[in-house]
Structure 1
Amino acid sequence: MNENYKTIKELADELGVSKQTIRNKIDKDFREKFVQTIKIKGNNTLVINNAGYSLLKKTLQNDTAQTAKTLQNDTAQTAKTLQNDTAQTAKTLQNDTAQTAKTLQNDTAQTKLICFLEEQLDKKEQQLSVKDKQLENKDTQISQMQNLLDQQQRLALQDKKLLEEYKAENDSLKALKMPSQETEFKHLDNQYKDEVNALKEKLENLQEQIKVQKRIEEQEKPRKWWGLWRK
């Protein structure tokens, strides 16, 4: 290589920068004045003469000095900013500590209140659970009574059919002029009707008592305001 010219790589190695940095410094005016193209090993290669080398070196030195100055200013500014930030942070931490202490005190009182309310709610839930079981038992009793009533109604229908048969037979006996047996059939019919009516009345009274008890329990059942509060 001619010592009056240097390639971009040679310049980058000597000046301690990258080839891209060298290329970034080569503008159109610089290229016209200091750059030539020569053949090196059969390839066209850009080379820079000594004047261009000196200009690039000076430019890079100025850039380095400017960068160092900028870094120095930035460092001073950063140190000042850090100092201010440290003071502000210390003040903020002091305020936060006082606020945290106050908040913890309030939270402690609130936590005690919450624990008390939760205990009361648990007790209410247990009471409601007992009431629910009682209602389930009442419902079961009502269902059983309903089944008994259905059975009774079926028996009543069967007995009605028997009575009709008895009446038919009684009518036949009337034709035979047997007043004593007709009287006996009427007595049995009235006695059976009285028993059925008494049983129905007893069943209706029991159902009414159950309904009254259920309404009383529903009125005593507390409103679940705590459900909304928990959310």
Structure 2
Amino acid sequence: MPKTIRELADEFGVSKQAIRKKLDTNFRANYVQTVTRNGVQTLVVINSGYLLLKQHFGGGNNRKFREETFTSNTGNTNIDTIELLNQQLLIKDSQIKEKDEQLKSMQKLLDQSQQLQLIAEKKIEKFKTISSKQGEHDTHNLKKKNNTWWHFW
């Protein structure tokens, strides 16, 4: 038998406001009906909705598990979840594309760095070769000068 918000609040030992907070749009669409009782239109929760609320407000140590069960059993949540996951996939795809571009850029910079290092090593080698030849030449000139200097004595 369908129950009103007040009946549910009394049964679960919570406030009517706590019950109303759980009656989101999806829950209302699937588990709440408007009926006329004593000439007044009243919101009532059908049996399947009652069971979901009972799971949630049942208490105990598994409250988080029960909340997840409650939210996962509501009607359009699956559609909303799929849309959210699709949006996240699109974001991840764009992030992966950006990372690929960054990797290409980094590879190009690495290649340039290696080329510059190779050029620098060649220049150092060339400088060593020139300086060693110049050193030999200077040593040879110094010997000549030494010979010339001894020649005057």
- Scaled by the length of structure 2, the TM-score of the pair is 0.50
More helix by share: 1
